[in-house]
Structure 1
């Protein structure tokens, strides 16, 4: 009888702990507000390394429009839009618009291979520890932020862009 009571109390305790954990998870998911980086916000500053090992700081680009793109080599939509970004970069880089393509936590070899295969000339940055990805709350990729000359986010784009889209976005942030 005594063992039966102990088992019952143990099982009841475990059940209550599990119910509390589920309730807490649901509460966090549905009733707490995540702070997302969105249009109208100041772009969070960051420093990342480019493929040559140079440090690139977002705030150093004040006065220029910045097309900030988060991507991965395995992402087909990312791969599809890269040639469009390259084409428009060539047209807009001398007009005060910079592209920063932030790769999310991949190896240098994978990134270098991708960059060479697509002939990319704009700065490709490495977010090895995902700190910038988390600061910008990136969930789907590709995701791009259009940042004006004052460092204010004008638009957030998720999903694949056409070349015409990229051109229109570059025009939007041209100083």
Structure 2
């Protein structure tokens, strides 16, 4: 028993010496922070369609008047972002979606769905104010319900076959969007 206690004491002392180094403290803090963020993200996405499930089918008009159907997007991965014009976080994330669209080029579709708006002019105002350069679908309660979206922004990453691969709820950085698209 004494050998185990002294081994624990040595381990505790070694850990104390290691924690005196700034990079160890920062590293441990970053790992704990990353685990907390991951846990919160998983909790936020708990009610969304699960990985591998077919994305709910849709057909909606863009602000330009074109019709976009889910099956017309097949053949490339799809980043499908749900947002509301009154959502400040959505406005902050919109430039990341624009940058992702430019980075992805022809290898993926970046499409957004405006929901929870009072009138089309509110959507157009958001698009102008945030220099949105990706397609904006005029969604409704039906698509919001089908994808079980109740928090904005919510971004889905669909496979080229139209299956949900993953989702992110809340603000997502360009690095986070790119990483999820590449997975």
| TM bucket normalised to smaller | 0.7 to 0.9
- Contact 2:83–2:112 under 8 Å retained in 1: yes
Question: Which segments of 5 or more consecutive residues in structure 1 lack a partner in the other structure?
Answer: 1-34
Question: Which segments of 5 or more consecutive residues in structure 2 lack a partner in the other structure?
Answer: 1-46
Residue aligned with 1:125, SS = strand
Shift of 1:51: 0.1
1:38 aligned onto 2:50: yes
Counterpart in 1 of 2:6?
none
1:118 aligned onto 2:130: yes
Question: For 1:8-19, what aligned pairs fall within 5 Å after superposition?
Answer: none
TM normalised by structure 1 equals 0.73
RMSD of equivalent CA atoms: 1.4
TM normalised by structure 2 equals 0.70
Counterpart in 1 of 2:8?
none
CA distance in 2, matches of 1:72, 1:105: 6
CA distance in 2, matches of 1:127, 1:88: 22
1:99 aligned onto 2:110: yes
CA distance in 2, matches of 1:109, 1:171: 34
Shift of 1:80: 1.0
Change (3 A) 1:36 1:88: closer
Shift of 1:75: 0.9
CA distance in 2, matches of 1:91, 1:61: 18
Shift of 1:112: 1.0
* Number of aligned positions between the proteins: 136
